[in-house]
Homo-oligomer: A and B are copies of this chain.
Amino acid sequence: MWISELSQRTGVPVATIKYYLREGLLPSGAAAGATRAVYDDSHVRRLRLIRALVTSGGLSLAAVREVLDALSHTDHGMHFVLGTAHHALISPAAEPTAASRERVAALLDRLGWHVYGDSPLRDVLAAALDALVATGNEMADDLLLAYAEAAGRIGAADVAALPDDPADAVERVAVFTVLGEPVLLALRRMGQENASARRYGIPDVPPPSRPRTR
């Protein structure tokens, strides 16, 4: 297909497609004459992935590039490849306190989880715990453990659902790691609403719903 049809099928403007081509995020099409190129379904798929990561995942183009790079490293074993993609998806955390770092290490020991000692996720979690402490609302050990056990079930379900083909698996990791987050967060808030209804009872008047735009 020509670039115009690629644009039509993906909803991405031609100018944006050309930008991704120049930036090397999207592979070139097959040359068809001096100034034209032909694109195929692999371009449609890659373009949809980029757009999903940018618009839904909120990633910068630099982060998108890291994820796409990881998609091409399938020769080091799956755990290496998934870890590389995972790390590229991590937003840098504020420097955590030593106390929270130790708390995270103790939690992982207790759970028996394999998480690399230099994984940036450790600092991300420690910084998130620090942010709660800064409000005067520390997360108690039993609540943190409840979060971790539920998160462990989700992580296991995520990994069990990965396809066998490495490239497919990495693409799925890139998409689900980011785009699965708003799914989980919405479900958690629904779970809170449901638990609140059960604990406190349902009043006659519902809370005001908000307009969808602000």
Which A residues are within 8 Å of any B CB, using their own CB? 45, 48-49, 51-52, 55-56, 60, 62-63, 66, 76-84, 86-88, 90, 92-93, 95, 108, 111, 113-116, 118-121, 123-125, 127-129, 131-132, 134-137, 139-140, 142-144, 146-162, 171-173, 175-177, 179-203, 205-214
Q: Cα distance A135–B148 when bound, in Å?
A: 28
Residue from B86, B120, B194 within 8 A of A114 (CB atoms): B194
* A187 with B77, Cβ < 8 A, contacts A93-B212, A159-B192, A214-B92 known: no
Q: Cα distance A125–B149 when bound, in Å?
A: 22
Beta-carbon nearest neighbor of A188 in chain B: B151
User: What are the 7 tightest A-B residue pairs by CB atom distance, in nearest-first order?
Assistant: A155-B191, A83-B207, A151-B187, A159-B195, A56-B131, A125-B186, A128-B182
Q: Cα distance A58–B80 when bound, in Å?
A: 32
Contact check, A194 vs B152: say whether CB atoms are below 8 A apart: yes
Contact check, A196 vs B87: say whether CB atoms are below 8 A apart: no
* A186 with B124, Cβ < 8 A, contacts A159-B192, A175-B132 known: yes
Q: Cα distance A131–B62 when bound, in Å?
A: 21
Q: Distance (Å) between the CB of A208 and the closest chain B CB?
A: 6
Contact check, B88 vs A193: say whether CB atoms are below 8 A apart: no
Contact check, B128 vs A179: say whether CB atoms are below 8 A apart: yes
Q: Distance (Å) between the CB of A104 and the closest chain B CB?
A: 9
Beta-carbon nearest neighbor of A10 in chain B: B134
Contact check, A193 vs B143: say whether CB atoms are below 8 A apart: no
Contact check, A156 vs B195: say whether CB atoms are below 8 A apart: yes
Q: Cα distance A11–B115 when bound, in Å?
A: 34
Which residues of chain B come closer than 8 Å to A160, judged between CB atoms?
195, 199
Beta-carbon nearest neighbor of A182 in chain B: B128
Residue from B193, B197, B203 within 8 A of A76 (CB atoms): B203
Beta-carbon nearest neighbor of A50 in chain B: B135
